[in-house]
Structure 1
Amino acid sequence: MPPEAQFHIEVIKLLLQVATSDDRVTREEIDSIIDTARGFSVPLTELSALTRCLQEGHPLPPPNLGILREDPRAVLDAVHTLIAGDGHVHESEIAMARQIRELLGIAP
């Protein structure tokens, strides 16, 4: 798999983590993640495996931070798009975005 494709899959994994951070996943969040995945050309098999985890209540695979650190701005852009997408920004989502910045090594 090309490095760019792996990066995009890791972004989707992270977005799924963000979407579930407030213990509820809205239709808007799912649509946003699917739109992002399509824009990134994430293989349908990968996307299906990840969404199946959600549907069946299995733990989501953790994203590879080493890969995500290759382009932290793109990661944050995707996270902010997801958080703002449903029109409701929850405290847990703000905290999650802050934590992601730290994990990616981006100063506030």
Structure 2
Amino acid sequence: MATPSNPDSHFHIEVIKLLLQVATSDGRVTREEIDQIIDTARGFSVPLSELAALTHCLQEGKPLPPPNVGVLREQPNAVLEAVHALITGDGHVHEAEIEMTRQIREMLGITP
């Protein structure tokens, strides 16, 4: 995947990568989670080619590319808002998602 020149676009792509990691953390991905990620990507104006490449990994069972933590640390509150919207969007918050959120907060340097 090519790195976009727009810093906001790069940040948004990294958020989508993280959301895909969160969606797969409980061992399954629901239609609601996919819809939420697509809606978020559209709201962020993530290029369709980037979104297609990421979802292709998911569909083919290939490893998802890890998000760039340095980029995500630039706007930690926006990252947590997107994660929270994803994990609560299907109405079921799983233990693995709670643990993943804890790890994300730690990774972003946010203390409780």
> What's the TM-score bracket when you normalise by the shorter of the two chains?
over 0.9
Q: 1:57 aligns with which of 57, 61, 71?
A: 61
Structure 2 CA distance for aligned equivalents of residues 55 and 107 of structure 1: 35
Aligned residues: 108
Structure 2 CA distance for aligned equivalents of residues 74 and 104 of structure 1: 11
Structure 1 CA distance for aligned equivalents of residues 41 and 110 of structure 2: 24
Gap runs ≥5 in structure 1: none
Stretches (4+) displaced over 6 A: none
Aligned to 2:19: 15
Cα RMSD after superposing both structures = 0.3
TM-score w.r.t. length of structure 2: 0.96
Deviation at 1:86, TM superposition (A): 0.4
Aligned letter for 2:58? L
Gap runs ≥5 in structure 2: none
Percent of aligned positions that are identical: 79
Q: 2:45 aligns with which of 41, 46, 60?
A: 41
Matched, 1:90 2:94: yes
Structure 1 CA distance for aligned equivalents of residues 13 and 48 of structure 2: 11
Structure 1 CA distance for aligned equivalents of residues 38 and 22 of structure 2: 14
**Secondary structure of the corresponding residue to residue 23 of structure 1:** coil
What aligned pairs does 1:62-77 form with structure 2 within 5 A after superposition?
A: 62-77=66-81
Deviation at 1:42, TM superposition (A): 0.2
**Secondary structure of the corresponding residue to residue 101 of structure 2:** helix
Deviation at 1:19, TM superposition (A): 0.1
